[in-house]
């Protein structure tokens, strides 16, 4: 088994000025990594100072992750100022919740732009760098990407069509990167985290624990990110984990529930009606593609599962 020590590694963490991103950046630093801290504002400087206080190097690269060029800027900063790029953690995101009939075009575009395009921009820039590095040395790199999905892509909450769509796209992006970049020594995995942060303050109930680490503390997710970035997780690629509390759950890919085959080699609408419609008679409305069974993982006492 490989080591979880990240000494000598350099990470880029987006949205790292607060919440999950901050916890992830600090966890990587505690494990030994130097960190490029991205956020849109001056909170990035505060986290840089926290990392430096741990004895690690850190720099801030401020800007909107949906700016395609910023992805390249972060990669260049990691290499030029910290010496390499080994770990990418895509965390930055926003929410613009609303029922679909109340959603504006801007609400849709902003969420897709920051989450999905933001993930793609940094994955692209890092992939360009790592591919060139592998080709120039003739050896694969040892690099890890951790992308941030959400249980929203499993449940399809009625007030989060933009967010759920973005997170579903991030999972598909992760699988594509995992398959396309593995030949160069790059692993890509996604996490669906649950944590009590400023962005989720309206979702989760207040902690009931008297002292100790909150069951939904973002530091718990940071530990998983640090692990996935390390050599100990060298065999893990193209996977999706639900992460929160005292639990990590590995998701399985979708399965085929039922196959319908035409007796003539080409369906007519009448034959479809004869074969498919009876299968759905008396089927509960909630029994659809949404993976609601994942909600049963929750033992935190949190009422909202989305």
Please give the residue that has the higher pLDDT: either 245 or 236.
236
Residue 168 appears among annotated catalytic residues: no
Is the pLDDT at 134 greater than 60? The verdict is yes
Token digits for 203? 């979702």
The pLDDT tens digits of the residues spanning 259-268 come to 999 999 999 9
- Residue range 52-67: average pLDDT? 98
Of 66, 144, 150, 226, the active-site residue reads 150
Residue 150 appears among annotated catalytic residues: yes
Is the pLDDT at 66 greater than 80? The verdict is yes
Q: Identify the pLDDT of residue 300.
A: 77
Residue 163 appears among annotated catalytic residues: yes
- Given a contact cutoff of 8 angstroms between Cβ atoms, the answer to whether 42 and 113 are in contact is no
Q: How confident is the model at residue 270 (pLDDT cuts 50, 70, 90)?
A: very high
The pLDDT tens digits of the residues spanning 199-220 come to 554 454 555 554 567 788 999 9
Q: How confident is the model at residue 301 (pLDDT cuts 50, 70, 90)?
A: low
Question: Locate tokens 């929750």: which residue?
Answer: 298
Is the pLDDT at 176 greater than 80? The verdict is yes
Cα distances from 56 to residues 25, 27, 39, 76, 144, in angstroms, run: 11, 12, 19, 19, 19
Question: Within 13 Å of residue 184, how many CA atoms lie on the same side as its CB?
Answer: 23
Q: Identify the pLDDT of residue 305.
A: 38
Total count of residues recorded for the chain: 306
Model confidence, pTM: 0.92
Question: Within 13 Å of residue 7, how many CA atoms lie on the same side as its CB?
Answer: 3
The pLDDT tens digits of the residues spanning 113-127 come to 999 999 999 999 999
In sequence order, the 6+-apart residues with CB closer than 8 A to the CB of 39 are 14, 15, 16, 17, 18, 21, 47, 60, 62, 92
The pLDDT tens digits of the residues spanning 71-87 come to 999 999 999 999 999 99
Question: Locate tokens 């999706």: which residue?
Answer: 240
Of 127, 163, 226, 244, the active-site residue reads 163
Distance CA 40, CA 43 (A): 8
Distance CA 87, CA 75 (A): 10
DSSP the chain: ------TT-EEEETTTTSHHHHHHHHHHHHTT-EEEEEESSTHHHHHHHHHHHTT--EEEEES-TTSHHHHHHHHHHHHHHHS---EEEE-------B-GGG--HHHHHHHIIIIIIHHHHHHHHHHHHHHHHHHHHTS---EEEEEE--THHHH--TTBHHHHHHHHHHHHHHHHHHHHHGGGTEEEEEEEE----GGGTTTSPPP--SSS--TT-HHHHHHHHHHHHSGGGTT--S-EEEEETTEEEEPPPP--------SSSS--HHHHHHHTGGGGTT--TT-SSS-GGGGGG--S--S---
Of 117, 167, 226, 230, the active-site residue reads 167
């Amino acid at each position: 088994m490989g080591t979880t020590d990240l000494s000598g590694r350099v990470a880029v963490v987006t949205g790292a000025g607060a919440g999950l991103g901050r916890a992830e950046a600090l966890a990587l630093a505690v494990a030994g990594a130097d960190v490029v801290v991205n956020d849109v504002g001056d909170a990035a400087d505060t986290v840089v100072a926290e990392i430096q206080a741990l004895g690690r190097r850190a720099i801030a690269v401020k800007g909107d992750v949906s700016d395609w060029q910023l992805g390249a800027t972060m990669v260049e900063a990691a290499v030029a100022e910290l010496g390499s790029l080994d770990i990418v953690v895509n965390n930055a995101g926003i929410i613009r919740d609303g029922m679909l009939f109340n959603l504006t075009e801007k609400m849709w575009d902003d969420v897709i732009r920051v989450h999905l395009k933001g993930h793609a921009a940094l994955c692209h820039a890092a992939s360009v760098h790592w591919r060139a590095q592998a080709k120039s040395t003739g050896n694969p790199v040892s690099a890890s990407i951790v992308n941030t999905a959400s249980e929203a892509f499993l449940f399809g909450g009625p007030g989060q069509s933009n967010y759920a769509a973005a997170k579903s796209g991030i999972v598909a992006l992760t699988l594509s990167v995992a398959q396309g970049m593995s030949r160069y020594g790059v692993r890509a995995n996604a996490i669906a985290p649950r944590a009590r942060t400023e962005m989720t303050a309206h979702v989760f109930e207040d902690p009931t624990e008297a002292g100790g680490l909150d069951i939904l503390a973002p530091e718990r997710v940071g530990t998983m990110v640090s692990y996935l970035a390390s050599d100990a997780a060298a065999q893990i690629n193209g996977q999706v984990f639900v992460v929160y509390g005292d639990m990590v759950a590995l998701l399985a890919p979708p399965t085929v529930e039922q196959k319908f085959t035409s007796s003539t080699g080409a369906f007519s609408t009448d034959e479809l009606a004869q074969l498919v419609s009876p299968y759905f008679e008396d089927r509960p409305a909630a029994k659809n593609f949404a993976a609601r069974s994942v909600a049963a993982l929750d033992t935190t006492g949190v009422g909202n599962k989305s």
